[in-house]
Amino acid sequence: MDRGVLYPARLPTFTRLPAPDPVAPLVRWFWIPEWSIAPGRSSRQHLIAFAACNLVVEPDVVGVAGPSTRASHRDLAGTGWGVGALLRPAAVPAVVGDPGALRDAYRPVELPALAGPVRAAMAGLTDRHERAVAAFADWLLATVPAPTPEALLANAVADLIETDDSVRTVTQAAARLSISARTVQRLARRYVGVPPATMIRRRRLQLAAERLRTDPGTSLAAVAADLGFADHAHLANEFRTVLGLTLSAYRQRT
């Protein structure tokens, strides 16, 4: 659940709910953070987000977050919440358009038919999260066309890369799916917005951060070897390039 979150202990209240079956081809899961920060204070949330798009309803805005290629953060203050959908590739063209144009960006969008029911659900007294997800799912079903075979293949590409830790190259991903590497590249570009190699790199860094956080006794060399990096220096360079901090500095802060 915390994969991709660099400092889980600093999270606000966080709920993750599975996508209802009818929208499972469109959404990986729904996520709902809620926070109440004391006046004059803030909480910085650091992420190595999935290489995917998110559609988020907040109290005052609806936004689309494009795929990320680097670590990111958001400063939370006051009282607030969000209801987000981690979109699967099949939903992206209808909801986002060109995901590559939104890399590392968050763009406000006008979607009153989505925002109204979700906000009403979050203002309720009972079953707020479930009602908000149901309203979100209803909007998606009414808005996003049924996935084409190509869109479902794009889902399969993303699922494989994000869940199979043994896949370390685009060629391996293509072979597992019995398609060409060029097809993997094309599907990632259209439905995810980043190259498949970037998706693989992101998964490996998420896993490295998770290992460093949950297994403080393991050596950095062992983490690098287990995740398929050439050596400790290769992992350290990737970590520093993407996250802007060293492996040892991250371990000390968790």
> Tens digit of pLDDT for each residue in 92-123?
999 999 999 999 899 999 999 999 999 999 99
Query: Residue 187 sits in a domain of what CATH number?
Result: 1.10.10.60
Q: How far apart are CA 103 and CA 181, in angstroms?
A: 22
b/e code 17-26 from CB counts within 10 Å (16+ = b): bebbeebebb
CA 201 to chain centre: 14
Distance of CA 69 to the CA centre of its chain: 11
Same domain for 44 and 125, yes or no, is: yes
Domain of 231, in residue numbers: 151-253
Q: Are residues 131 and 170 in the same domain?
A: no
Given 96, 111, 143, which residue is the final one in a domain?
Answer: 143
> Strand, coil or helix: what is 1?
coil
Domain end: 143, 161, 195, which one? Answer: 143
15 and 139: one domain?
A: yes
* C-alpha 232 chain-centroid distance: 26
pLDDT over 70 (residue 43): no
Number of domains in the chain: 2
- In a shared domain, residues 75 and 158: no
Task: Flag whether pLDDT at 232 surpasses 90.
Answer: no
Check residue 14 and report its DSSP letter. E
User: Would you say residue 2 lies in a domain?
Assistant: no
| Same domain for 48 and 171 | no
- 149 vs 168, which has greater pLDDT? 149
